[in-house]
Chain A
Amino acid sequence: MYYLGITIIGIGIFFNLAGCVGLIRFPDVYNRLQAATKCVTLGTSSILFGIFVIKGFTPAGTKALLVMLFVLITSPTGAHALARGAYRYGVKLWSGSKKDEYSEEFNQKDIKISDERSRELSDERFGEE
């Protein structure tokens, strides 16, 4: 049981490492989020699952399972919020991107409003300084 757990933890560390490499190699925010959500979620989950395999239904093992559930629920939600926030803030997609159907969502009017709002915001910021 011990060695099985260690193996699962090793696999998890490997995936986490791959996720970090992906964070560096991928070209833009959205692709990096892909690496961060997929590899790191499974990596962290399997580290925690490895702990559960070693410890069994003891206090530590059960907590590992709970944290795993928590990571599985929050990680995609956080990635979604980051991606949406980045897009709304105006982060461009990588130049090699094939398609951007999300831009249809923002018609001319919305962009104007957001422009005004950003100007107001920047005015406020300068005012404070």
Chain B
Amino acid sequence: MNKIISYLLIYIIWLLLSWPFNPLKIQDILVGLVVAFIPVILFVKKSKKSFSKSSSKLEIKRIGWAILYIPVLIYNMIIANFDVLYRIISPELPIKPGIVKINTTLKSSMARAILCNSITLTPGTLTVDIKEDIIYVHWINITTSSRNVATKKIAGRFEKILKKVFE
């Protein structure tokens, strides 16, 4: 099942990339059918649990939260950019960098990967490593020494939504 879905997705991406089709030749479309097999064989494992047990099927609610996640992410990205921009441009370089630990309550690997990427894209934080429940984050402007406050500040806004999507 997993493989079929990935195959179709890859094929659709192939079609989009080779869009202006030459109407007389269908090579592009046929080659795509073959080429899409390669990444599926190489990289897609048999259905792994990227969702937790209780949520093997897609629900409308879940998709709704996933769609809501996109504007939240974009909003945070733009805020992040102005934040970093301010630090770059101001002459005295107002940074207090360091690496802090934060906790995550997310269980599935997919959710964690998305959380880490989101952390990297948002205000002044960069994921360095993840071990079990602990994420190491490089923070450009440390404002607190408590781990809980840092967790809330860095991951809080995404974790709530990701929990609803994946768990």
* CB contacts between A and B, total, < 8 Å: 127
Contact of B95 with A76 in the complex, beta carbons under 8 Å = no
Most interface-central of B89, B120, B142 (chain A CB within 10 A)? B120
- A99-B99, A102-B136 known; A80+B120 contact, CB < 8 A: yes
Contacts of A97 in B (CB 8 A): 96-99
Chain B interface size, under 10 / 10 to 19 / 20 to 34 / 35 or more:
35 or more
CA distance A97 to B87 in the complex (A): 15
Chain A residues numbered 73-129 whose CB sits less than 8 Å from any CB in chain B: 73, 75-77, 79-80, 83-84, 87, 93-94, 96-103, 105
* Chain A CB within 8 A of B38 CB: no
Contact of B99 with A102 in the complex, beta carbons under 8 Å = yes
CA distance A39 to B99 in the complex (A): 20
Q: Is the interface of A mostly helix, strand, loop or mixed?
A: helix
* Chain B CB within 8 A of A53 CB: no
* Chain B CB within 8 A of A9 CB: no
* Chain A CB within 8 A of B16 CB: yes
* Chain A CB within 8 A of B117 CB: yes
Contacts of B129 in A (CB 8 A): 84, 87, 102, 105
Contact of A76 with B121 in the complex, beta carbons under 8 Å = yes
Q: Is the interface of B mostly helix, strand, loop or mixed?
A: mixed
Min CB gap B140→A, angstroms: 5
* Chain B CB within 8 A of A66 CB: yes
CA distance A19 to B87 in the complex (A): 11
* Chain B CB within 8 A of A21 CB: yes
CA distance A85 to B21 in the complex (A): 42
- Which A residues fall within an 8 A CB radius of B? 15, 18-19, 21-22, 25-28, 30-31, 33-35, 37-39, 41-42, 59, 62-63, 66, 72-73, 75-77, 79-80, 83-84, 87, 93-94, 96-103, 105
- Which B residues fall within an 8 A CB radius of A? 13, 16-17, 19-20, 77-78, 80-81, 84-85, 87-89, 93, 95-101, 116-118, 120-121, 124, 126-129, 131, 136, 138, 140, 142, 145
